[in-house]
Structure 1
Amino acid sequence: MSALVIFHALTSKELRTTMTTDLRDGRLFLPTRTVLLAAPVRDRIAAYLNYRNSRWARTPNPHLFLSQTTACGVEPVSNVWINDVLGIPADRLRVDRLPHEAEATGGDPRRICDLFGLSVGAALRYTSIVDQPGIVEYNLRNAGPAPSPRTDGVG
């Protein structure tokens, strides 16, 4: 679950409503977008599905994520359950992921829209921070100590 939020910024609602049939060919098919899953996410989902199938082999519930309570029915897990399992609200992980991706894409709002299913207005809010004065200086200041120059005349 955390990998889906951290890598692909899924919302709590998307986590709750995803069905096992939404996973196909290394992709997650959501109502608003199709997500090409990163390799580490695919590995974690495969491990979870093995666990899910061994723990609840006869569940009628089509949702990807199950709890002891929902495994006997067909309803999705709750937002509270998701946040408890993650140890932090899913939305906080998602909000933390978006600025990092905005910076990594050089402030490309279209890419943010495609990756995370955001509107153009929402993507612009995240990408507008990329060109803010002081960001480069802040990143340089907090990157850790610079390597010391060599004194042996090499390099």
Structure 2
Amino acid sequence: RHRRATWPHTTNPHVLISDKTAHGTGPISQQFVTSRMNRTGCSVDRIRKDRILHEALAGGADPLHLSLVFGISHSTAARYSAVAEHLLADELDQTPQP
């Protein structure tokens, strides 16, 4: 939302942009990412793991899909799928019955 509000007409195809890259087509620098992440206490790796788990939850915990989309090994994809299945099962167990 912030990106769309700040740069509504940007042609930059990258997900992460800055004041310097918003009006071009180049990516932000590694230094920019590192400095911003250090301020928040979050890492790019943690965001990537979150995105993979989110995709597993949204996509029905399909390990083949995860492997293809994220370029991860079949064993890693299977672990994410198992976690997603566990979370989805817990969610179903906690859903109030009419």
**Structure 2 counterpart SS, 1:107:** coil
Distance 2:15 2:33 in 1: 23
CA contact (8 A) 1:82 1:90 kept: no
Structure 2 equivalent of residue 48 of structure 1: 17
Please tell me whether Structure 1 or Structure 2 has the larger radius of gyration of its CA atoms. Answer: 1
Of the three residues 3, 28, 37, the one matched with 1:65 is: 28
Residue of structure 2 equivalent to 1:94: 48
| Distance in 1 between residues matched to 2:15 and 2:58, nearest whole Å | 28
Shift in alpha-carbon separation, 1:125–1:107, aligned structure 2, 3 A: same
Q: Which has the higher helix share?
A: 2
Answer yes or no: is the 8 Å Cα contact 2:17–2:28 preserved in 1.
no
Segments ≥4 residues shifted beyond 4 Å: none
Q: Is there any run of 5+ residues in structure 2 with no aligned partner, and where?
A: 4-10
Q: Distance in 1 between matches of 2:37 and 2:15?
A: 22
Please tell me the root mean square deviation across aligned C-alpha atoms, in Å: 4.0
- Measured at CA, do residues 109 and 139 of structure 1 come closer, stay the same or move farther in structure 2, by a change above 3 Å? same
- Structure 2: how far apart are the matches of 1:100 and 1:107? 10
Give the percent of matched residue pairs that are identical in Structure 1 and Structure 2: 24
Distance in structure 2 (CA, Å) of the matches to 1:78 and 1:49: 8
Alignment correspondent of 1:105: 59
Measured after TM superposition, the shift of residue 84 of structure 1 is 3.2
Q: Note if 1:77 corresponds to 2:63.
A: no
Deviation at 1:79, TM superposition (A): 6.2
Please name the residue that 2:8 is paired with.
none
**Which residue number corresponds to residue 119 of structure 1?**
73
The alignment of Structure 1 onto Structure 2 pairs a total of residues equal to: 86
The structure whose RCO (Cα within 8 Å, separation 6+) is larger is 1
Structure number having the greater strand percentage: 1
Unaligned runs of 5+ in 1: 4-41, 58-62, 67-75, 150-155
**Normalising by structure 2, what TM-score?**
0.56
For 2:27 and 2:88, locate their aligned partners in 1 and report how far apart those are by CA, in whole Å.
Answer: 39
